Structure 1
Amino acid sequence: MPLHVAVQTAPFDVGVQTARLSALSPLTGGIGLFVGQVRGGDGLVAMTLEHYPGMTEGILHALAQEAQARFDLTGCTVIHRVGRLEVGAGIVFVGASASHRAAALQATTFLIDRLKTGAPFWKREEYANGQAQWVDARETDEEAARAWLQQSPVP
């Protein structure tokens, strides 16, 4: 199953990535997508994402392989951006293709839930008033990731 995993500063093209997933296999019947972007509000102007090079890519690749095993995917793409990103900029693209929509959608949810807390990324928010702060993990993200760990992989 073709996997594509990248950590990059450059923007990603949702249309290009979706077309790539669609073309990977004639058995693809559905594609699930998640695109995360920098959310504005409360004066937020940008977010800087840092990561642990090498380790981050390895963890993302392992999560993509786990998704393939659980959901019998025909393709999987995980792209995560790093660096300074302004409000509205894409942060993460997660795409999963499968023979059936349910598997593609479940795999997409699995991947975003697991990478939110399992991949070594650090986020620093910048505000219009000059303040900046590091973002702590949210308990709801931790709970979502734990729920997947309690489930047995699909045989």
Structure 2
Amino acid sequence: MSIHIQVQTDDFNVGDEHNTLCSSNKSDGAVVTFTGLVREFSSGDNVIALELEHYPGMTEQLLQSIAEQAQTRWQLARICIIHRVGYLALGEQIVFVGVTSRHRQAAFEGAQFIMDYLKNHATFWKKEHFKDSSNWVEFKQSDKQALGRWES
């Protein structure tokens, strides 16, 4: 069992991260990955970039805690969470979550749990940049609702 947490400004290579999850792993039959990207539209406006800030030290601890909860709940063997910070242009990668488990349902649920908890509890602050303005992103009700399925 292993957990890899990284908060960084540099981009990551999804293929490399997938290969790391699979290398020398003969016991797991499922690998699930998720990659989040900076998208163009938010609240009806054209986003040109996203700026992410975090609380160093605390952010990594929270991500570790989320990963440990998922690992215990679904017996996930390997977990990788990479989250970028800084100024990210349209289409750039923001987050990577990868998990392995013996069976697919555990892998799918574990990865979704990690993303739902990350969106609601990790100490990241997002600012959307538009052509002539910018604004801080508020928590979405849909993210809070997604979290509810794991807390019942």
TM class by smaller structure = over 0.9
Residues 24 and 75 in structure 1, CA contact (< 8 A), matched pair in contact too? no
Aligned length: 149
How far the C-alpha of 1:147 sits from its partner, in A, is 2.2
The separation in 2 between residues aligned to 1:105 and 1:54, in whole angstroms, is 28
TM-score, scaled relative to structure 2:
0.95
- In the TM superposition, residue 43 of structure 1 has moved relative to its aligned partner by 2.1
Task: Identify the residue that residue 59 of structure 2 maps to in structure 1.
Answer: 56
* 1-structure distance, mates of 2:18, 2:70: 17
CA–CA separation in structure 2 for the residues paired with 1:43 and 1:140: 21
Q: Distance in 2 between matches of 1:66 and 1:142?
A: 18
Q: Confirm whether residue 23 of structure 1 aligns to residue 26 of structure 2.
A: no
Q: State TM-score, norm by structure 1.
A: 0.93
Matching residue of 1:85: 88
- Deviation per CA, 1:87-132, whole angstroms, max 9, x where unpaired? 100000001101111111111110001100110100001111x200
Q: Which runs of 4+ in 1 moved over 2 A?
A: none
Aligned to 2:144, which of 132, 142, 151? 142
Aligned counterpart, 1:132: 134
1:65 corresponds, among 55, 65, 68, to 68
The gaps in structure 1 that reach 5 residues or longer are 151-155
Q: Which moved more, 1:24-33 or 1:5-14?
A: 24-33
Aligned-CA RMSD value: 0.9
Q: Take 1:64 and 1:81, find their aligned partners in 2: how far apart are those partners?
A: 17
Question: Helix, strand or coil: the match of 2:113?
Answer: helix
Which residue pairs with 2:34 in the alignment?
34
Q: CA separation of 1:80/1:27 partners in 2, compared to 1, >3 Å: closer, same or farther?
A: same
Where do 5+ consecutive residues of structure 2 fail to align? none
The separation in 1 between residues aligned to 2:72 and 2:24, in whole angstroms, is 17
Structure 1 counterpart of 2:123, from 98, 120, 131: 120
Q: Percent identity?
A: 41
Displacement after TM superposition at 1:24 (Å): 5.0
Q: CA deviation at 1:28?
A: 1.3
- 8 A contact 1:46–1:87 mirrored in 2: yes
